Amino acid sequence: MQIQFEQLVREHLGRIRQIARRYAAAAAVDDLVQEILLRLWRSLPGFRGEARVETWIYRVALNTAMTNVKESIRRRELQVALTARSESGQGLAAGASPADVLADFMRGLGDIDASVLMMYLDGLTADEMSAVLGISANAINVRINRLKQKFTDTYID
């Protein structure tokens, strides 16, 4: 099982790190990554491969990130301070790279919308996202359409 887990970590560490970066303050990203890996290791025996690995990783990672006791409060305070300072789309230089646009757009989203966006960009279907979040595929599609609209309003002249 350890070899299987090592391979899985090698393949998906970048994804896990991106999720952690969205849900933890910069100094706490490594701690959150470690916590997510711990939870993945503990839940590995229950993963039977019926769903895509990405779906399982998102499920465990989002559950861990959003219910992380100490980090949740700390990050919340940080996010409130950042939101007060700038809204997404403002202060982004003309000709900014797609990576900058992505980071800026992500920063302006709430926790749930950010999770939907990450899964959408990762190619998960509405049904797969529904299995992660526990809300209907219809509600997911509504959120995605709103995200697209918000993106257009913010970044398209």
In whole angstroms, give the CA distance from residue 44 to residue 56.
9
Q: How far is the CB of 28 from other proteins (least distance, A)?
A: 16
Please name which of 92, 123, 97, 110 lies closest in space to residue 150, comparing C-alpha atoms. 110
CA distances from 72 to 60, 65, 76, 86, 157 (A): 16, 8, 6, 21, 35
* # residues contacting other proteins (CB under 8 A): 59
122-151 positions binding other proteins, by CB under 8 A:
122-123, 131-135, 139, 142-143, 147-148, 151
69 binds other proteins (CB under 8 A): yes
Distance CA 31, CA 144 (A): 30
Contacts of residue 109, Cβ cutoff 8 Å, sequence gap at least 6: 88, 117, 147
What tokens does 140 get?
A: 């997911």
Stretch 91-120 residues interacting with other proteins (CB under 8 A): 97-99, 101-102, 105, 110-112, 115, 118, 120
Among residues 32, 60, 124, 126, which is the contact residue for other proteins, using CB under 8 A? 60
Residue 52 as a binder of other proteins (CB under 8 A): the answer is: no
Which residues are at the interface with other proteins (CB under 8 A)? 2, 5-6, 9-10, 13-15, 17-18, 33-34, 37-43, 46, 59-60, 62-63, 66-67, 69, 72-73, 76, 97-99, 101-102, 105, 110-112, 115, 118, 120-123, 131-135, 139, 142-143, 147-148, 151-152, 155-156
